[in-house]
Every structure is written in C-alpha cells, then in structure tokens.
C-alpha cells in the first residue's frame, strides 16, 4: 500500500513539473518578446544595433523579470496540472481509493519549496548579475557613462569612529580614479555626533586594495597648518562598484552579496531599507511559491461533475493576482519605511499560505 501511494505521489509530481515547465516556457517567451521590443525601442534605436546584439541584451534583461513572475508560473502551472488530473477523473480515482488530498497536494508544495530555495540561492543571483551587466551595457551604448563621468560625484563611507564625505569634480571609471577630489573627514563622538577633523584636496584619488591613493594632496584640520603630500594613502571601506557605479541597485545585487552590501551601506551612514527589503523578499520566495501552488491545487479539487470549475479557476487566478499586487503594495510600503522591511516581505506570503490552507481544509474536510 505504501509503495502504491509513493507511486501516486511521484505521478502527481511528474504531472505538476511538466505543467510548470509549460507555464514557464509560455511566460518566459512572452517576457522575451516584450523585452526584445522594449530594448529595440529604447536602446537599439539610439545606437542602430543589429538584431543579434539586441537579442543578447534581451537575454541579459529578461531573467530578472522572469524570476519576479515565478509566482504566476506556479499558479498557472499547478492549476493546469490539477485541472488536467480532474478532467481525466484521476483525482476521483485517487480519492475513491482513500488517498487524502493532502497526499497529492504535498508533492506540488514540496516542489515549490525546493524550486523556491534554488531560485533564491542560485537563479536569482544569476539573474541579478545579468541585470547589472545589462544596465552597464545599456549605459555604455547610450552614452550615459560619458555624461556621468563629467558630473560631480558625491560619496560617503566610514566606520564606527570615522566618517568621510568625498566630492569629486569628475570620475574616470576605466582607470578607477576620481579627479579634482576633496575628502572631508569627521570623527564620530561617543554620543554619535560628528566633529569635523580634516579636509584633504587632491588632484586624483585611485581606489585599490582597500585604500585611496591620493596624488598632489593638500590637507589640514581646524587651527592646523596645511600639509602637502606627493602621495597619500587613506583607508577605505568602499568597493570599486560602490565608488564608481554608486550604491548598487538592490535588484542588481546578488542574494549572497546583499548582507555585506547592507553592512557597508549602513556603516557609511546611508539607509539600507531597499536592500533589506530585497533580502527578506528573496528569503520569503519559497513560501510565496508554495502558497501559490497550494492555492491553485485547492481551487482545482472540485469534482468536474459538480460544475462551476470555470468559476473556481477564475477565482483562483483573481485571488493569485490579488495576492501578487498586495505583495507589491507591501513592498512599496516597506520601501517608504511605513512598515518594517521584514513585515513587508513576509506578511503577504504568510497570509496567502494561511488562505490556501484554509481553503484546502474546507475542500477536504468540509
């Protein structure tokens, strides 16, 4: 008996994975098509790029969008799998044999949890890296890099006992160098107040090996005589990406780099709310996908002979969209610091999971 149940679970899992693959192919194709048109219009028209180059940019941009739409992949894929089982009366046969609905819903939920964990730890970092590369390629093609290098640059970095504000008239990303730069050094007092300590002006500042190498520098503090240095090294907590690409966008920061990025941003005195929200959303991804799968399965368990299957499917889709937009709204509230990032990231998946379990209890046990 146990082997027969195991075979049933494996069969349901195979049907679910096949439907998920089909849903992913359809949604992924639509995303690629839309992004190809968008890249052609926004980037390709500016630089007259060939179609193969536009396709390459599209392949860099689309994975991040597909990862964002994975909840719909699991909603539509699980719905398709269980509606198919229902239409072929296979669910009726399983339940007539005494198999609880929990036994064939479990494979879909477990697969969603596992794929969600892989998405957070593997697929999302790859998509974020590709998105960051796309943004750099688009800036280079559109000429935004040249315009940005001619603009003044403001940076801030520091530790628990020292804060440094950096202003540069220009930046040279290719050489990793700031030009005509000023460093304003502040000391953090025990109460948290900042006390101005020193200003250093330099012709250039090059970031390498955890320090700024200044050339032709002149520095001095309050009531101090200025000092001249041919070269001067100042310790730095910034990485080249942070110094020359500003603080990386949360969507372009891989999952494994987010904790360190949050620490560096907060150490420099900036707010890391957006990065904290992104980290918590990625951690909540497995729960979100599992809740979508259980919700879709619960709505499709109604027997075909009882009718109203189309209404149930429509209700599942509407509820899934509703939870997705609720998740986006909560993210906006979290970004605005109206609610804590951890609440904004975890509350919608938890509510969705509770709703799905409630519906499944009602469907199975009446």
- How distant, in Å, are the alpha carbons of 4, 73, 120, 359 from that of 315? 33, 17, 29, 12
Instruction: Spell out the per-residue pLDDT of the chain, length 366, in tens.
Output: 444 447 778 888 889 999 999 999 999 999 999 999 988 887 766 667 788 888 888 999 999 999 989 999 998 999 888 888 878 777 777 777 776 777 778 888 888 999 999 999 999 999 988 888 887 788 777 655 444 445 567 777 877 788 888 888 777 765 668 888 999 999 888 877 888 889 999 999 888 777 888 999 999 888 788 889 999 988 887 766 555 554 457 777 888 888 887 877 776 566 788 889 999 999 999 999 999 888 888 877 765 445 566 676 777 778 778 888 888 899 889 888 889 999 999 999 998 888 888 887 776 665
Number of other residues whose CB lies within 10 A of the CB of residue 107: 22
Residues 6 or more apart whose CB falls under 8 angstroms from that of 66 comprise 24, 27, 28, 31, 127
Are 253 and 239 spatial neighbours (Cβ–Cβ below 8 Å)?
Answer: no
Which residue matches tokens 């904290």? 276
Classify 1 as helix, strand or coil: coil
Element (H, E) at 317: helix 309-335
Residue from 120, 85, 124, 81 nearest 294 by CA: 81
Residue from 160, 32, 8, 37 nearest 96 by CA: 8
Residue 98 phi/psi, 5° resolution? 90, 10
Give the span between the Cα atoms of 336 and 333, in whole angstroms: 5
Give the span between the Cα atoms of 226 and 220, in whole angstroms: 4
Radius of gyration of the chain (CA): 27
């Amino acid at each position: 008996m146990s082997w027969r149940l195991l075979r049933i679970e494996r069969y349901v899992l195979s049907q679910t994975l096949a439907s998920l693959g089909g849903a992913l192919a359809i949604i992924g194709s639509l995303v690629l098509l839309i992004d190809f048109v968008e890249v052609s219009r926004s980037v390709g028209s500016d630089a007259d790029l060939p179609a193969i180059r536009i396709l390459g940019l599209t392949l860099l941009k689309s994975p991040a969008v597909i990862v964002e739409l994975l909840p719909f992949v699991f909603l539509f894929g699980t719905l398709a799998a269980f509606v198919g089982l229902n239409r072929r009366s296979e669910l009726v046969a399983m339940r007539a044999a005494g198999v609880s609905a929990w036994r064939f819903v479990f494979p879909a939920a477990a697969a969603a949890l596992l794929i969600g964990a892989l998405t957070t730890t593997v697929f999302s970092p790859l998509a974020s890296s590709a998105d960051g590369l796309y943004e750099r390629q688009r800036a280079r093609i559109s000429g935004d890099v040249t315009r940005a290098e001619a603009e003044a640059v403001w940076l801030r970095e520091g530790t628990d006992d020292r804060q440094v504000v950096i202003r540069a008239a220009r930046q040279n990303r290719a050489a990793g160098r700031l030009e005509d730069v000023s460093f304003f050094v502040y000391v953090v007092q025990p109460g948290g107040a900042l006390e101005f300590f020193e200003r250093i002006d330099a012709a250039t500042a090059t970031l390498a090996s955890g320090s700024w190498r200044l050339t032709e520098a002149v520095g001095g503090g309050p009531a101090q005589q200025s000092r001249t240095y041919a070269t001067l090294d100042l310790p730095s907590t910034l990485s080249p990406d942070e110094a020359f690409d500003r603080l990386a966008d949360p969507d372009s920061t891989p999952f494994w780099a987010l904790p360190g990025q949050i620490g560096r941003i907060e150490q420099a005195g900036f707010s890391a709310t957006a990065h904290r929200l992104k980290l918590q959303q990625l951690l909540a991804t497995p729960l979100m996908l599992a809740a979508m799968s259980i919700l879709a399965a619960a709505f499709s368990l109604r027997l075909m002979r009882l009718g109203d299957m189309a209404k149930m499917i429509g209700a599942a889709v509407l509820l899934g969209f509703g939870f997705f937009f609720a998740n986006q709204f909560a993210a906006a509230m979290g970004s605005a610091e109206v609610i804590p990032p951890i609440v904004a990231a975890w509350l919608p998946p938890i509510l969705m999971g509770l709703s799905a379990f409630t519906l499944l209890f009602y469907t199975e046990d009446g």
